[in-house]
Chain A
Amino acid sequence: MSDKTVSDMSFEEAMAALETVVAELDSGDVPLDKSIALYERGAALKAHCEARLKAAEEKVAQITTNEAGEATGATPVDGL
């Protein structure tokens, strides 16, 4: 089990961790005490993943550049 705090994980990391937890718990080899801790961690990972997925929001912006061609800002684009 990784020591990384769930909230610091990227979606991909949380996904991999959740998969590991589920596989471990599924195998049935885990002592009862540990299985409870695993379940709690799995639940936290699942909530984290869900939050990341549900927070998905589209934002489209167009880069504006100066004379030298460097990015100076971004203006929101609608209707594309």
Chain B
Amino acid sequence: MSNLIDDDGDGPAPGANAHEFTVTEISGAIKRVIEGEFGHVRIKGEVGRVSRPRSGHIYLDLKDDRSVISGVIWKGVSARLATQPEEGMEVIATGKVTTFGGQSKYQIVIEDIRPAGVGALMAMLEKRKKALEAEGLFDAARKKPLPFLPEVIGVVTSPSGAVIRDILHRLRDRFPRNVLIWPVAVQGQSAAGQVAAAIDGFNRLTPGGKIPRPDVLIVARGGGSLEDLWAFNEEIVARAVAASDIPLISAVGHETDTTLIDFVSDHRAPTPTAAAERAVPVRLDLLAWVDGQGARLSRAAAEATGRRRQRLADLARALPRPETLLSSARQRLDLAEDRLPQALRNAAARKRLRLVETSSVLSPRALQVRLVTERQRLTDLQARAGSALTSQMRDHRRAFSNLGARLRPALLRQPLSHKFRAFDAAAARLINLAQGQTTARRSRLEAIERLRTSIGYEATLARGYAVVRGDGDVVMTAKDAGKADTLEIQFRDGRLSVGSGVSPAPKIKKPSKKPPPGQGSLF
């Protein structure tokens, strides 16, 4: 005891009797306490930030409204997980709490993590469904038609259990076929991967290879809880189905269960049995159908010849004898002959009747009516013509006055006065010339006249000579005077007739009648 007391007295801090730890010691002590106390816990919370480094481990936060705890899922564990943690997911994580002395931290090492209850699962499924739908994986246009009668049927399911039995049984009933079973786990953590691999594997088979390639696939599983069917909600399965070139029928769970695979498959069957029914037709029905078609074929062929035979017989019966042909024609001729006169009379009567009808229409009254209308038309036209004329006249008058307004007398008058003046000058010149010429001619005429009178015989008469004419001609000799019937003597102051030259009178007259010789020589 005294040693202990001494020891106490030698302590660095008086009055402090607590054990002194190194940092590592205390870290180790805490670790032991925590791991001892929380060696196996279930923690419910929301997944916060998730990080997946290349190492393959998963680091994540679990949180609720007030606190956060870090978690780690080692690589080996994460590969086994049925559900991969996603941010925002409500989960229950199972594991042990441990410390990380190097950073004064604690965390939970998760050994299993799963969605917290059905609600969380459904929420996750909904999210996944939306994403795939947005990618177009559910489009109706992507669905492939199922073959009518597949030769080989590939079935992806568990080899043991009722499902494959149901399918084979129904296939056997309907149409025995070549069935290839690809055995898979339909439940549990590896189920999704195996189902996806089986679908992919069937698609990889080459047609005509060692293993025949199926013409249609059935992916089937019996009923179960949501968690049991969960493998068929996994994205990897949905993507394998979408990628399948072989038409695929999904039949997972009961009629009321709908899993993600049902949205992607080409046909969704409510049960495995229904899938088998959808895959093949009923052989017996088809046999009956073929028999029926065969019977119809024979009947139709028989009918085709029978009908023709009947028709031939009918036609042959209907073919008339030559004399019948002729006799009917003769009868017709007789009949026509009989009817001809009457027909002629009838025709004539009909024509007459028509003539009467026609001529009745052709009445003066009809003409009158026509005349009245035409006259009316004429009057109308006249009226229109008058008004048209008036309006035209008005137009022309207007045009004329327009033109008249433009017509200016000054334009005409000016050149006119010029011409007048020129004319006056020319006239004056003409008068001058004419007067000059007249005077000259008159004096010439007077001179000639004077000459004429001076040399004319009248002037001789004035000197006492006379001119004797016999019968109108000048008589120069007495012989000529004696021959003339009448004699005429011209004196200066007039003419005097004397009787005939043969009468006694001419004896008297004769000397007087004789013109002086000088006078005659004058002419």
Contacts and interface: CB of A to CB of B under 8 A. Distances in A.
B499 interface: no
Contact of A53 (B165, B194, B283): B283
B234 to A, nearest CB: 16
A59 B197 CA distance: 23
B113 to A, nearest CB: 26
A5 to B, nearest CB: 19
B177 interface: yes
A12 B198 CA distance: 28
B179 interface: yes
B304 A59 contact: no
B148 A11 contact: yes
B293 A10 contact: no
Nearest to A43: B297
B73 interface: no
B178 A12 contact: no
B286 interface: yes
A50 B290 contact: yes
Nearest to B156: A63
A69 to B, nearest CB: 5
A28 B297 contact: no
A28 B293 contact: no
Interface in B173-187: 175-183
Contact of B149 (A11, A58, A61, A65): A11
Contact of A58 (B172, B205, B300): B172
Contact of A70 (B159, B194, B201): B201
A71 B180 CA distance: 11
B278 to A, nearest CB: 15
B307 A63 contact: no
A10 to B, nearest CB: 7
A58 B153 CA distance: 11
Interface of A: 10-12, 15, 18-19, 21-22, 25-26, 28, 30, 32, 35-36, 38-39, 42-43, 46, 49-50, 52-54, 56-63, 65, 69-71, 73-74, 77, 80
Ranked nearest first, the 10 interchain pairs of A and B with the lowest CB-CB distance are A58-B176, A25-B300, A12-B148, A39-B301, A42-B297, A59-B178, A46-B294, A49-B290, A35-B304, A63-B182
